Amino acid sequence: MTGPDARQADPGTWLLDRIDAREQALTCQIEQTQAEIDTLTARLSELSEAIEHLRISRKTLIALAEEVPAPVEPAAPPPTVPEHPAYQQILTVFGGAGGCLRARDLAMAMDLPLTQNDIQNVRAKLKRLASRGILVETEPGLFTQPRP
């Protein structure tokens, strides 16, 4: 034994070097594993959020499906115009006038005599059309077609 062997010279140093090398390797593995855990934790969080959204959607859809729909109100039938030709003539005059008319103006437009009795008959017809919603009395004695 003439030459000093490194292993034989100081067995304590050799063991400490091996422990240091093993510690560094384990520390590297711990860091890699921790990075993988962080990645997996983030992915787990994303998946949990996605499944929670699906559960909420399912609950909402089931609740909507179980709701009793409100009864649909039937649409009001359109107002019916009396069958007398004078009413058709009145509506034709209103269609051409595009504004408000009084009974006297309407009687003139219909070429009726301007007697009190004829004007009163026209006024009665205008009131009947207003009561059915076909015309609107904007102020006493002034009639027009309703706006859609």
Q: When comparing pLDDT for 99 and 2, which is higher?
A: 99
140 vs 102: CA distance, rounded Å: 9
80 vs 66: CA distance, rounded Å: 40
134 within domain boundaries = yes
What's the pLDDT tens digit per position in 5-39?
A: 555 668 789 899 999 999 999 999 999 999 999 99
User: Do residue 89 and residue 129 come from a single domain?
Assistant: yes
126 vs 122: CA distance, rounded Å: 6
In 10 A of CB 128, how many CB atoms?
Answer: 16
136 vs 147: CA distance, rounded Å: 9
User: Do residue 52 and residue 92 come from a single domain?
Assistant: no
Report CA Rg, the chain.
48
Question: How many domains would you assign to the chain?
Answer: 2
What's the pLDDT tens digit per position in 96-131?
A: 877 888 999 988 888 888 899 989 999 999 999 988
Average pLDDT, stretch 36-56?
94
